[in-house]
Amino acid sequence: MRKKAYASAGVDIQLGNQVKSTLPRLLAATRRREVLGKVGGFGGLFALESGKFRQPVLVASTDGVGTKLKIAFALDRHDTVGQDLVNHCVNDIAVLGAEPLFFLDYIGTGKLKPRVFRQLISGFARACAENHCALLGGETAQMPGFYQEGEYDLSGTIVGVVEKSEILDGRSIRPGDAVLGLASSGLHTNGYSLARKIFFERMKLDPRTKLPELGGGIGRELLKVHVSYGPLIRSALRKFNRPRTGRLTVKGMAHITGGGFIDNIPRVLPRKCDALIRKGSWEVPPIFQLLAASGGIAESEMYEVFNMGVGLVMIVAGDQADAVLRFARAGGTVAWIIGEIVRGSGVARIV
């Protein structure tokens, strides 16, 4: 049979349709009752149950995985980066108090490889199910000649909802409040361009190189899945916050992503408050110590690039800090009190 012209140009529509036929099974675990229609339409349908809210506010965020994908390519493992993307997006809206509703993904590649596609979608589906978020749809684009052989790019968009009166914007933060840190799994999805330069260019390591200080391979360490704090955050807000009575124990949160502590914490601080973060109040994981030592990175820059073992900070009423800390730990999250709020000009200070 004569090969079709589009397939000869590198875009195999038949293969794409064949691979996508497995989507209903993969997405089944992510389905919510608000989802209408079936997978494969021109748009995803989601019926918001507005009766649950007085003033529902939709919250949306879009992100990618960045150059962490290079580690996935090198190790030929593709299930974790899909989880990274969903969890990162969940955290970005969770810090505003939002519940995730649905997620949409984008995969761009030169040539669609069924095994890689299934791993990616499996990662999306697993993380969406864990966050009770519908994987509503997405787009897979085959663009021959645009990407290097064996490579692809990912991005995703999440939409959530929060009651208007329950939006966490940090305006109630006051001096005397405590800063709690929730443990990360490692670099999460930020700082990989610098980390790759240090490990693979300067140190000449291979992604499969095992390092005693890491207890395993450097590539495996760098592929650790970005933690989702969404379920814990929603549980904590239900337990500790009573917006209708004016009681806010959890006053603000910051997802520690690109920009580290220095750029992210100020996004939730009032103009006359500083966050005083105390070094030594938590254990910095070996991966960050190795980066600093091997890369000759100044300590101040480490806190401006990496999460240093703290993936999310919660700013809580000082007299309730121990209670929130116990709650987080009881749920299986490693957490610490890492600082406090003081008078200032809206910056984060590492002391």
Composition of the chain by helix, strand, coil, percent to 5: 40, 25, 35
pLDDT value at 321 more than 70: yes
pTM of the model: 0.92
Residues of the chain with CATH 3.90.650.10: 178-350
Do the Cβ atoms of 133 and 159 come closer than 8 Å? Answer: no
Multiple choice CATH, 5-166, 3.30.1330.10, 3.30.465.10, 1.10.3720.10, 3.40.50.1370: 3.30.1330.10
Pick from 158, 296, 287: nearest CA to 216: 287
The CA distance from 87 to 225, in Å, is 9
The CA distance from 13 to 111, in Å, is 11
Q: What is the pLDDT of residues 205-260, one digit of tens each?
A: 999 999 998 999 999 999 999 999 999 999 999 999 987 777 889 999 999 999 99
- What single string gives the DSSP state of each residue in 283-335? PPPHHHHHHHHHHT--HHHHHHHS-TTEEEEEEE-GGGHHHHHHHHHHTT--E
Split at pLDDT 50, 70, 90, the class of 273 is very high
The CA distance from 322 to 316, in Å, is 10
The CA distance from 336 to 179, in Å, is 9
The tokens of 347 are what? 């910056």
What does the DSSP 8-state code read for residue 348?
Answer: E
| pLDDT for 11 | 60
pLDDT value at 36 more than 60: yes
- 């099974």: which residue's tokens? 25
Q: What is the pLDDT of residues 163-196, one digit of tens each?
A: 999 999 999 999 999 999 999 999 999 999 999 9
- Antiparallel, parallel or unpaired: β 99-109 and 56-64: unpaired
Q: What is the pLDDT of residues 88-103, one digit of tens each?
A: 999 999 999 999 999 9
| b (16+ CB within 10 A) / e for 99-134 | bbbbbbbbbbbbbbbeebbbbbbbbbbbbbbbbebb
Angle at which helix 114-130 crosses helix 13-20, to 10 degrees, equals 30
Q: Which of 50-54, 192-196, 252-256, 310-314 has the lowest mean pLDDT?
A: 50-54
CATH class label, 178-350 = alpha beta
Angle at 223 between CA 289 and CA 81, to 5 degrees: 140
The CA distance from 13 to 147, in Å, is 18
Up-side HSE of residue 197: CA atoms within 13 Å toward CB?
8
Mean pLDDT of the chain: 92
How far is residue 299 from each of residues 10, 143, 286, 351, measured CA to CA in Å?
Answer: 48, 42, 14, 11
